A = this chain, B = another copy of it.
Amino acid sequence: MEQNRQLCSQLVGKQEEDTFSILIASDCHLGYKEKDPIRGHDSLVTFEEVFEIAKEHEVDFVLLGGDLFHENKPSRATLHGCIEILRKYCLGDKPCQVEFLSDQSVNFWSSSFPVINYEDPNYNISTPVFTIHGNHDDPSGSKNLSAIDLLSSSGLVNYFGKTSSVDEISISPLLMQKGKSKLAVYGLGSVRDERLHRLFASEKITMLKPKMDTDNWFNIMVVHQNRVKHGEKNYIPEEFLSDFLDLVIWGHEHESLITPEWNPKTNFFVCQPGSTVATSLTEGEAKRKHVAILKVFNKTFKVEEIPLNTVRPFYIDELCLQETGISCDERHEQEIVSYVKKKIESMISKAEAEHSGSTRQPTEPLIRLKVDYSGGYIPFNSLRFGQQFVGRVANPKDIVHFYKKRTRREITDDEEMESIENAELPISILERTVKIENIITELLANDSSYQMKFLSEKAIGDAVRIFVDKEENDIIEELVHHSLKKMQNLLKKNQGSTDLQLDQQVEIYKETVFGNEDMRKAIEGAQIKRRHRGDYDDEKDFSDSDEDIVKPSTSANPENNGRGNRSRDRARGQTRGHRNSRTPSRGRGRGTAITSSGCVFTRKPATATASSTLKSKKSEVINLVDEDDSDDPFEIDRSKRSRKA
């Protein structure tokens, strides 16, 4: 493989018509700190630089690793700024040389316009963008839409890797061809790590491989998950991913480790672009930011790393007060302040000396000094301290971060996770976090009037998290509604019982059927269920019925009856184990799927495809084995099980 890369570097250039040229970037976090008068424009400035690079290198397309937006609900200004940049750089006359081969109605199943933007005759696209969602811009709300869906329905990006079920995930690649080279891009938008970890461990992740020319595809996978271990299940080990992959583009992690790293266990490379803007003041974010130009020729590839020049300079350093020789006596506070000040001045000088000189690179750097105050030192007021650096430093309010070194001991996974997460938080935030948690716990523990008869504490916690993170104002109401309905159904079945019996039943029910797991799924699946009725057959009362309501039919193709019906059908095929029906109902919706022009596979009458493999595992495997010599273009690669499992 290493050899291949060498080979590629010789070939690329001579065989341009056979070589994919792809700009790789990730975690642009548009809108990050947009209200900060100093840093407000940083994310959009660098986003534009990314597209300037794409244009300059005349790439075939741009591939993004998620978290295009920082907020789940980006502000109008941020969304508008993003649209402006995309319209400016992605539209144009240059024809895209990449032939798109896979079934677009499968790749873009959730869209009303399941067509790749550069093949839509109504748009002139010179630089197509492909992106998955990250954890910051994941789908939410009543229609399970991401902010990226707005860009996608406007024809500005191609949004892939959206999953349709919370219980099983089948990943059907984007298949492309340029000259003789063939590229398969597997996308998986951000899924909560714990859930994805569980799905991998229980072999509920399916990777579909093209049967035709199976071994000649260059296989890329784009993911947006924790790569660094945060507790036992709070990350995705690289070994979970299929070893037929050639290259994994790993989003979410902000440190730029863009030089592909070879993983000898899995036989693939991992390229971690890192973010294009620092969203936390940590070591990883202080490293130089990059995008990459990825060239793929047959089964070989080459990565050209391109440093970004508009990123705000960021310097981070550490200081241990005990090592300064200054006494921890509070009378020496001024001495400590002076010492710290001197240290920061030297960091600022370094920033000035190393500034690129480019007018587009901000001059006020981010400065972070981590001060270990263990040994009896008293932290001074870092907010007031920072005021002297206003106008010289971009983050005067949080230059100094006080922390205490942990003493080394065996720590459990939970603690480890907490320690990693908390390590980045300043004292004040930690205190606040604890307070909010305390409030909830105390309320529930001490005051009987607040005790929850129906809801589990965990479920409420999850709902509150979604409420805060995604600004989904209805989620708590929905949860309560769902819980009450379930409980009401239970009680109806048990009419005539005594109060005591009922109480016991409620408790048992709460513990078992209606436990944390059920509630978690109810929350996770809420959006999907609202669209795909029938996911939970016994829970049809979960959402307000809207099936009788006249809805606008907004599909691209009037004959095609739109996304609504097709995706609903598909979702019906994804119920947990097909409680009500195990009859395999294959190829539903396929006949009406919009096929791409020039698509090799979809011209064949495909009867079993990606959508059919989305059904319950049992029937899916049988179907595919049965018809191995059929026209089904895909083979299945069951993702590896956790070695620990």
Contacts and interface: CB of A to CB of B under 8 A. Distances in A.
A79 to B, nearest CB: 6
B76 A552 contact: no
Contacts of A360: 550
A551 interface: yes
A93 B37 CA distance: 45
Contacts of A38: 549
Interface residues on A, range: 35 or more
Nearest to A37: B544
A76 B149 contact: yes
A77 interface: yes
Interface in A22-72: 35, 37-38, 40-41, 44-45, 47-48
B76 A154 contact: no
Contacts of A48: 552-554
Interface string A111-127: 01100000001111100
A546 interface: yes
Nearest to A156: B154
A92 interface: yes
| Copy total for this chain | 2
A143 interface: yes
Interface string A65-95: 0000000010111011101110110011100
A546 B40 contact: yes
B150 A150 contact: yes
A495 interface: no
A189 to B, nearest CB: 16
A310 interface: yes
A141 B556 contact: no
A76 B147 contact: yes
Contacts of A155: 87, 154
Given A44-B551, A47-B552, 18 more contacts: A35-B142, A37-B549, A38-B549, A45-B552, A73-B76, A75-B141, A76-B149, A79-B150, A80-B145, A80-B150, A88-B556, A92-B122, A122-B123, A122-B124, A154-B154, A154-B155, A360-B550, A361-B550
5 contacts: A37-B545, A48-B554, A77-B141, A79-B150, A87-B154
